């Protein structure tokens, strides 16, 4: 039976993918750990690496070259890290595993489909906070429902702010 392996992208970690909660094997590349350095999710990811839940793997040179060649042809703008993640997923697929690239990045998703590599989005529709706006007077701090242009009291031009 093929192994199910999740390949973790930085966007997956940002979107709240918790490696510790998943049974399937998980891999990522060193650069993702570095990219995650400034995030709150960093600790979660590092803990998972230390605990052996997430393995840090390098893709093969062949897969890297192959992905790079294709990327140049498509003209897609992706980072070196993205290329590595795609190459890693390709390696796993060729090794007979059942990889799935976990990413919320559209450019990577596009390339993954191009290569026939399975991917999964993390952020569920509706899970993200819906921003509501209000119009605020910068002079007297009165609030109005949008799209009010000016303060009815002092006449100042209103600014749009997320409502708390």
How much is the CA Rg of the chain, to the nearest whole Å? 22
Site for Zn ion contains 139 (CB under 5 A): yes
Least spacing, CB of residue 135 vs Zn ion, in Å: 10
Q: Which stretch binds Zn ion (CB under 5 A): 43-51, 75-83, 115-123, 138-146?
A: 138-146
Alpha carbons within 13 angstroms on the beta-carbon side of residue 35 total: 16
Least spacing, CB of residue 139 vs Zn ion, in Å: 5
Least spacing, CB of residue 153 vs Zn ion, in Å: 5
Question: Are 17 and 104 spatial neighbours (Cβ–Cβ below 8 Å)?
Answer: no
CA dihedral 151, 155, 160, 164 (to 10 degrees): -40
Site for Zn ion contains 80 (CB under 5 A): no
Q: What secondary structure letter does DSSP report for 9?
A: P
| Window 108-137: residues binding Zn ion (CB under 5 A) | 137
Q: What secondary structure letter does DSSP report for 156?
A: P
Binding site for Zn ion (CB under 5 A): 137, 139-140, 151, 153-154, 156
């Amino acid at each position: 039976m093929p192994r199910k392996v999740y390949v973790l992208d930085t966007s997956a970690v940002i979107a709240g993918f918790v490696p510790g909660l998943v049974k399937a094997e998980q891999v990522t590349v060193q650069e993702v750990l570095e990219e995650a350095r400034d995030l709150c999710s960093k600790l979660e990811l590092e803990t998972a690496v230390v605990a052996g839940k997430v393995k840090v793997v390098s893709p093969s040179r062949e897969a890297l070259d192959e992905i790079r060649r294709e990327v140049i042809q498509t003209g897609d703008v992706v980072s070196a890290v993205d290329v590595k993640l795609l190459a890693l997923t390709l390696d796993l697929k060729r090794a007979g595993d059942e990889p799935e690239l976990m990413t919320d990045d559209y450019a990577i998703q596009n390339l993954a489909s191009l290569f026939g590599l399975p991917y999964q989005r993390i952020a569920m529709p509706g899970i993200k906070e819906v921003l509501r706006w209000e119009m605020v007077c910068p002079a007297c701090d009165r609030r109005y429902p949008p799209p009010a242009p000016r303060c009815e009291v002092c006449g100042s031009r209103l600014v749009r702010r997320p409502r708390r």
